[in-house]
Amino acid sequence: MDYKEPISRLIDITKKIAFGHYKEARHLFDLTKKADYPRDINALAEAFGLMLVRVEAREFHLKQTIDHLKKIQAELEIAKEKLTRENIGLRQSIYGHFFPKRIIGQSKAIINIVEQAIRLSDMPVNVLITGETGTGKELIAKVLHYNGIRRDKPFIAVNCTAIPDTLFESELFGIEKGVATGVNRRIGRIEQANGGTLFLDEIGDMPPMSQAKILRVLEEKKVTRVGGDKAISVDVRIIAATNKDLKKEVLEGRFREDLYFRINVVHIHIPPLRERRDDIILLLNNFLKIYSQKYGRSNMRFSEDALKILKKYHWPGNVRELENEVERLVALAPHDEIRPEDISEDIIQGLHYSDLSLKSTSKTPCSIAEMEKRLIIDTLKYTNNNKTEAAKILGITREGLRKKMHRYGIK
């Protein structure tokens, strides 16, 4: 028998299928219906037919998968667009929060500081901000960042007082995996701030070894992780802050002179609240509005006598202490009008201490450091050496108080 015809047909059908005409597969099964064809040809046709059924099923499954992926992609595009809108809104909210006009104060000192911050915001110079604890040094640093060309990049804040000396280097510079058992690779704060701003709060408390490495970063614009040998390029603007007299720290060998000159390209000093008393009433009313809304007490107000006491108080913890007191008053005052009896005992006692201090220092002038030492000693006496309570009254952290006590030799 001549098998050329079925073989030729088989080849023809296979060619059509190869070009995507899968419906031709049914003709393969037609070949198997004829009993006059040899068993081998029938078996070959059936094998091709079954193979094509599987291919077609796979194609169908693939099409379903592609359609599902397209649906997911569409959903992701919608989510991405929504996230982008939310991010834009969040950034605008952040920018608005640190917009210079929202800085509360009418004193000449604050007006000058805000104007200086606006001029510096787009400049890449390093800035040193000085002032007592609680004066708002980080707020001014954020004004510098969020109103400049780096606003879309990270603002990374590092509290040099809060990080233990043993962990300071790895926190700042990062660490490579395997340096010690169980240690994973971690990116340091400097790398995290790449393209943006690194805010070094309380830089006067930075360990000497880390001072040297920060200086190297400023000079070479590169950072090397702990346990690593590769220098990584970074572009960061340094804004440093301290409540210390860094010139004195340099003279006494506790702070590197070359680092001091590197960070002190521009100096902004924020005066304490007691030196700008015209701002106290503005700040009180601003925080009253904020916390009245937060706690649902929209009719809260200060009595005239309460305002007189709060304005007279010397506020050693500055704006931070004032804000904490207003929040406490809004939360605990039994009436909508805040009265003198609602004010915390710390402030009432502080008024008495302030009067005594002013009388004594008018006859015996002393340095700011000596005044700070005296204030810490008296506050510790007042709290019966309760460091946690003393730190709260002074408006600093317990660790910050510990370091000040060590610095001044207070037992």
Q: Residues 59-118: pLDDT tens digits?
A: 778 888 888 888 888 888 878 777 766 665 555 555 555 566 668 888 899 999 999 998
How much is the pLDDT for 366?
Answer: 61
Average pLDDT of the chain is 83
**Over 60: is that where the pLDDT of 354 sits?**
no
Answer yes or no: are the C-beta atoms of 308 and 124 closer than 8 Å. no
Confidence category of residue 361, pLDDT binned at 50, 70, 90: very low
Give the mean pLDDT of 3-27. 63
Q: What are the residue ranges of helices labelled H in 230-385?
A: 246-251, 257-263, 278-294, 304-312, 318-332, 345-363, 368-382
Give the mean pLDDT of 394-398. 82
How much is the pLDDT for 29?
Answer: 58
pLDDT tens figures, 189-222: 999 999 999 999 999 999 888 899 899 999 999 9
pLDDT tens figures, 272-303: 998 998 899 999 999 999 999 999 998 999 99
How much is the pLDDT for 67?
Answer: 83
Question: What distance in Å separates the CA atoms of residue 155 and residue 189, rounded to the nearest whole number?
Answer: 10
* Count of H-run helices and E-run strands, the chain: 17, 9
How much is the pLDDT for 38?
Answer: 65
How much is the pLDDT for 77?
Answer: 81
Question: What distance in Å separates the CA atoms of residue 403 and residue 410, rounded to the nearest whole number?
Answer: 10
How much is the pLDDT for 363?
Answer: 46
Confidence category of residue 360, pLDDT binned at 50, 70, 90: very low
Q: Which residues contact 97 (CB under 8 A, 6 or more apart)?
A: 146
How much is the pLDDT for 359?
Answer: 45
- Top pLDDT among 189 and 11 is at 189
Q: Which residues contact 116 (CB under 8 A, 6 or more apart)?
A: 266, 268
How much is the pLDDT for 196?
Answer: 94
- Top pLDDT among 201 and 7 is at 201
